[in-house]
Amino acid sequence: MSQTTSFLTPVQQGKINKKELRTNITIYSKDAINFISPVNHTLETESSEQEYKILKVWKEFLGLDRIERDNNFFELGGNSLIAQKISYKLSSIFETTINIRSIFKYPTISELAKHISKIADQNEI
Main-chain dihedrals φ then ψ at residue 117, nearest 5 degrees = -60, -40
- Confirm if 124 and 96 have CB atoms less than 8 A apart: no
| pLDDT score of 12 | 57
Average pLDDT over residues 59-66: 92
| pLDDT score of 83 | 96
pTM: 0.62
- Alpha carbon of 15 to those of 23, 70, 75: distances in Å? 16, 39, 28
Quick check: 41 pLDDT over 60?
Answer: no
Average pLDDT over residues 44-50: 65
Give dist(CA 22, CA 10) in Å, integer.
12
Domains of the chain: 35-124 (1.10.1200.10)
pLDDT band at 54 (very low <50, low <70, confident <90, very high): very high
- DSSP code of residue 98: -
Average pLDDT over residues 3-10: 50
Sign of CA dihedral 24, 29, 30, 34: negative
| pLDDT score of 10 | 55
| pLDDT score of 14 | 61
Contacts 24+ apart (CB under 8 A), 30-39: 30/63, 30/64, 30/77, 31/65, 33/64, 33/66, 33/67, 33/68, 33/71, 33/76, 34/66, 34/68, 35/65, 35/66, 35/67, 35/68, 36/68, 36/69, 38/67, 38/68, 38/69, 38/109, 38/110, 39/69
